[in-house]
Structure 1
Amino acid sequence: MTVSRLCHIVRVFTRNGVGGNHLGVVLDSSGLRTVDMQKIASGLGFSETVFLEGGDALGVRIFTPGREMPFAGHPLVGMTWVLHDSGLLTTDRLVCGIGTVRVGYGDGSAWILAPRDRPVRTVEGADQISSMLGLPQPVTSAWVDMPIPYLLLEMPSPEAVAAASFSRETLEQLAVGELYLFAELETGRMKARFFAPEAGVFEDPATGSAAVALASMLTEAGQGSGRIEIEQGDELGHPSTIQLDWSDRGVRIGGTVVEDEIRSIDF
């Protein structure tokens, strides 16, 4: 028996209306099993697909082509935008795998407010890891548990971030499942790239969870609040911009969203 669901195809964290990170948003997950959600996400092939679950609180489940994720930024921002656009944003909170996340919409952008107290750990052998990846020595480095461990390496220049080139196999040999490279473009602006081979996405065009990890890393380093515009995705032909703000209230990430179509998916 064929089952169909409507899926909103959107691009999250667009830059001047173009680019962004593709996302599938399914508002009706009734009757869908975990295996069904994973099949839909794998079939779409986007970095993530997000499913809305009803109940006393609006819950979401997030899937990459390879696995379910407890937390990811662009699916939560995209879900918030679709709910607002559909007239269904009746709450200021969504529940995901790490707990309750505040959400909202204003001035043409959707946003989420996530906890910033993610565990930050020292990287043993950061210089060696960078060398094996063909990268220059990092300025700073950290592991941040999201709760999946992300390796963050600050590069000495945005050119070094842009020039990064290595294989999936090298990351696997180093046991690095998620890697975030970043460098300052100018005060208040960063260039970044994110690689997630363990999730079935070698490089992601725009990564909200990595922006949250960056805020946690900077907080741990003594920068308790700040505001940064993150540019990502240019190397993939998907120019994206993430607005990042953090303080003792939490980490807010947001951006603009464009809907491309509403697609009927059979499975």
Structure 2
Amino acid sequence: MNARVKTPSGGIDVLRVFSGPDRRHGNALGVVRDGARFPGRTARQALAAELGFSETVFVDDPERGTVDIYTPGLRLPFAGHPLVGVAWLLDVEVLEPEVGEVFVRDDGEFTWITVRAEWAPPRSLREYALPAEVDALEVPEPGEWVYAWAWQDEAAGRIRARAFPGRGDGIEEDEATGAAALLLTQRLGRALHITQGRGSQILTAPGPDGTVEIGGRVHLEAVLDAPAPAR
């Protein structure tokens, strides 16, 4: 077990992923370390809906890094902020979500994962002329998944962004989204420093053969008692 966190048996770790340097903001993530307590998609989907985080991760093998990811409304083969968070928590070199092997490194401040751009689901990347335009956006009606962004400092690779999943599952705006940052990095072909939502920070860098490295700060926010699985 990762020495950073000692979770009671059956507990749910609540992490903040992609937080700012002051440990504020970031996206909440639920991690069920003992995934075997919730076997099957029905039980896992029900718990993810009950918890209400944008994503919840179930750990099926902590040594191999085998994980399973859910939003409140569906299962995901890949998602960025859950993989960064669970990589930090398990302290492993490789994760194994459904899409394939995800390599991990930690530089002491940021946890990084190396992923492939084609793993990310489609997003509508909408560029705006000014960060103030992004700040002023209203939450759109459910429908298209929108990643709104503008250059803060193009020479330095600094971007202002907000994310609107449009799923209609109660998550109107996603505070920090690794998959959308991955797609934007692929499109622009350069390293980015993204400030998203209220002040979350996501770092990215393109790699060889269509890979992208995504990094962020992670910390433990709380440990919850897991409810009993439905019978």
TM-score, normalization: structure 2? 0.86
CA contact (8 A) 2:95 2:101 kept: yes
Q: Which residue of 1 aligns with 2:178?
A: 208
Q: Which residue of 2 aligns with 1:151?
A: 124
Indicate yes or no: 2:29 matched with 1:23: yes
Count of residues paired in the alignment: 214
The 2-side partners of 1:207 and 1:213 are apart by 10
Q: Which residue of 2 aligns with 1:264?
A: 225
Evaluate the alpha carbon distance shift between residue 259 and residue 56 of structure 1 in structure 2; reply closer, same or farther with a 3 A threshold: closer
The 2-side partners of 1:217 and 1:97 are apart by 24
Q: Which residue of 1 aligns with 2:165?
A: 196
Displacement of 1:55: 8.5
For residue 160 of structure 1, the aligned residue among 133, 140, 149 is 133
Displacement of 1:247: 2.4
CA contact (8 A) 1:93 1:100 kept: yes
CA contact (8 A) 1:113 1:252 kept: yes
For residue 204 of structure 2, the aligned residue among 241, 244, 252 is 244
Evaluate the alpha carbon distance shift between residue 149 and residue 47 of structure 1 in structure 2; reply closer, same or farther with a 3 A threshold: same
For residue 17 of structure 2, the aligned residue among 7, 12, 36 is 12
Indicate yes or no: 2:194 matched with 1:230: yes
**Partner amino acid, structure 2, of 1:247:** G
Q: Which residue of 1 aligns with 2:6?
A: none
Structure 1 residues not aligned, in runs of 5+: 119-144
Q: Which residue of 2 aligns with 1:61?
A: 68
| 1:81-131, Cα deviation, whole Å (9 max, x unpaired) | 1112xxxx2xx2112232221112222221110013x2xxxxxxxxxxxxx
The 2-side partners of 1:252 and 1:240 are apart by 17
Report the aligned-residue RMSD. Answer: 1.9
Aligned-residue identity in percent: 35
For residue 217 of structure 1, the aligned residue among 162, 187, 190 is 187
Higher alpha-carbon Rg: 1
The 2-side partners of 1:41 and 1:55 are apart by 19
Moved beyond 3 Å, runs of 4+: none
The 2-side partners of 1:49 and 1:80 are apart by 14
**Partner amino acid, structure 1, of 2:146:** L
Task: Map 1:60-139; keep pairs closer than 5 Å.
Answer: 60-84=67-91, 89=92, 92-116=93-117, 118=118
Q: Which residue of 2 aligns with 1:51?
A: 58
